[in-house]
Structure 1
């Protein structure tokens, strides 16, 4: 019996080597192309196959390229506007969906999930057809409108769970102390949602900045978002400058996603320290 028990324990403690090997292979295939792009962005010579020394030449060329810098400025502008617009509408919609107790509210909650499961190319084509049907010329404004519409669902889904977890008695206590419903919203509810709002803002900025499909179908001729500009450039051959741009975009996106994950923890820890100190 002891031998059987010990062998059973050994079998339970045995590492799944096949699963580890498959996971390692998955990460290698996923990140190897990214690593190659990053490595050749520091290549000293104009080659995509031979690595000959390290240099910042292609990064300097990127920052002296007026066309790429203009596309970068447009991407930052679109990302900021989409972030603010989707936050305002998403927070309002999340509050309404959580506090609405009718069938219409439940139906609206289901409808908000549709953009998350709909292929983005379908959304892009639909947005383009809508703007064309209304006689609106594709431009920076159309990209902003499309990105805001697409990002509202992400903000709503993130904040709905946080709003549902809030204790409604806190807001009711504020109104019992003389605060109006609007004052209770701005002084109690929104401060409690601040970590989730900030995390949503950073996440939306990263998603919109890297977005290609929706921007491709709704942008005009010039200027174009950076992702669309890169696609237009690689159609005539991949240049080392594109490797530098891709590396910078990757680094920025990773930093924003890490920040989005860290904000709720940092804000929660700070709130706990303030509570302990009596502030």
Structure 2
């Protein structure tokens, strides 16, 4: 050690006390500061997303036959819709197709969900992968493929082909939703029911299906909403008459947007929102104590 190092004086106690303490990061600075740019982008996104929908709802109550000038509140365009026989017929067609597709896809989806979860072979994994393919396939591809299939078997586009296409397309959604619920069920409960004298079908009907009730109902509501609002698949598989409401609206828009179309869009929006809210509330209201399935939350 050198002499100069030994001769360096050490700081005294008062000098140590006078040293400035390290600065503390102010609360709200740095990472805690609100990202104004992100908030601005989010606000612009929601404005661009919901402003056209707000305009449709607003002008559906317009007294004037205009899509740019709002004069006052009126229900004349809703009355015009319900007095239009073609539009009301299309509405009935959409409701019938959605109801039949819902029942058919749920019935088949329940069986497929049980088969995929309880399967003990390698085919179960392959089948699980195949069930995901319709979910990622562009719907226009599905529509064209369905049209080619029906033409190949000499089936002209009609109400029957529309129902078959919508039911087939919805099965994958039901299966994926219910498969998660079936995987959560404890097989020992079914075994206990069979030990008490029930056969396999009775255990399934009296024990398993009631436990899946909220999930089945939520899936049914979701499928009804999807089929009722669907346009692409309905456009390729429906005939000239009867037409579902979405296709009828498209045909009417080609000759100019009428205020009654705004009334139809508002009614469809309200109905879809009510069904989605019901699908979210049903599992929470009736599926408590470990039997619920939050459809959109996992």
Q: Do these two structures clear the TM 0.5 threshold for a shared fold by scoring above it?
A: yes
Q: CA deviation at 1:137?
A: 1.5
Q: Distance in 2 between matches of 1:174 and 1:213?
A: 46
Q: Distance in 1 between matches of 2:170 and 2:49?
A: 26
- Deviation track 1:222-248 (CA, whole Å, cap 9, x = no partner) reads 110000000000000000000000000
Specify which of 275, 281, 285 is matched with residue 256 of structure 1. Answer: 275
Query: Displaced runs of 4+ in structure 1, greater than 6 A?
Result: none
Q: Distance in 1 between matches of 2:110 and 2:23?
A: 60
Structure 1 position 25 matched with structure 2 position 62: no
Q: Residue 197 of structure 2 corresponds to which residue in structure 1?
A: 178
Q: Flag structure 2 segments of 5+ consecutive residues without an equivalent.
A: 1-20, 292-298
Larger radius of gyration: 2
Higher relative contact order (CA 8 A, sep 6+): 1
Q: CA deviation at 1:23?
A: 1.4
The 5 Å alignment of 1:177-256 reads 177-256=196-275
- Deviation track 1:126-151 (CA, whole Å, cap 9, x = no partner) reads 00010011101111110000000000
Specify which of 106, 120, 144 is matched with residue 139 of structure 2. Answer: 120
- Measured on the aligned residues, the alpha-carbon RMSD in Å equals 1.4
Is the alpha carbon distance of 1:107 and 1:236 closer, same or farther for their aligned partners in structure 2, counting shifts above 3 Å? same
Q: CA deviation at 1:102?
A: 1.0
Structure 1 position 154 matched with structure 2 position 183: no
- Deviation track 1:199-244 (CA, whole Å, cap 9, x = no partner) reads 0000000000000000000000111000000000000000000000
Q: Residue 88 of structure 1 corresponds to which residue in structure 2?
A: 107
Q: Residue 143 of structure 1 corresponds to which residue in structure 2?
A: 162
The structure richer in helix per residue is: 1
Q: Flag structure 1 segments of 5+ consecutive residues without an equivalent.
A: 273-279
Q: Distance in 2 between matches of 1:270 and 1:55?
A: 48
Q: Distance in 2 between matches of 1:222 and 1:29?
A: 36
Q: CA deviation at 1:2?
A: 5.5
| Number of equivalent positions | 271
